[in-house]
């Protein structure tokens, strides 16, 4: 159930990333609510990827899915 909510929220973020030639893949979520994702395409090698991950994806996921505690890139 939680995984489905996270995946649905990521689908909302995906078009913005794809517009810049990147994408995000869901990897998993642990029992503490830490979501693991993989940035791909242009986002995978972008020097601003950590900002995108924390300020963009993490903030959005925490707003949409309160059970999410953080987001990390793998």
Spell out the domains of the chain, with CATH numbers in brackets. 2-73 (3.30.300.130)
Task: Classify the C-alpha dihedral 69-6-1-31 as positive or negative.
Answer: negative
Rounded CA gap, 57 and 72, in Å?
Answer: 10
> What is the value of pTM for the model shown?
0.89
- Residue 70 in 3-state DSSP? strand
Walk along the chain (74 residues) and give the pLDDT tens digit of each residue.
899 999 999 999 999 899 989 999 999 999 999 999 999 998 888 888 888 888 899 999 999 999 999 999 98
- Cα Dmax for the chain: 33
């Amino acid at each position: 159930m939680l995984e489905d909510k996270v995946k649905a929220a990521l689908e909302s973020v995906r078009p913005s990333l794809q517009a810049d030639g990147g994408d995000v893949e869901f990897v998993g979520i642990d029992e503490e609510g830490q979501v693991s994702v993989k940035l791909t395409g242009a986002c995978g090698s972008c020097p601003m990827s950590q900002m995108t991950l924390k300020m963009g994806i993490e903030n959005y996921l925490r707003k949409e899915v309160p059970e999410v505690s953080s987001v990390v890139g793998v």
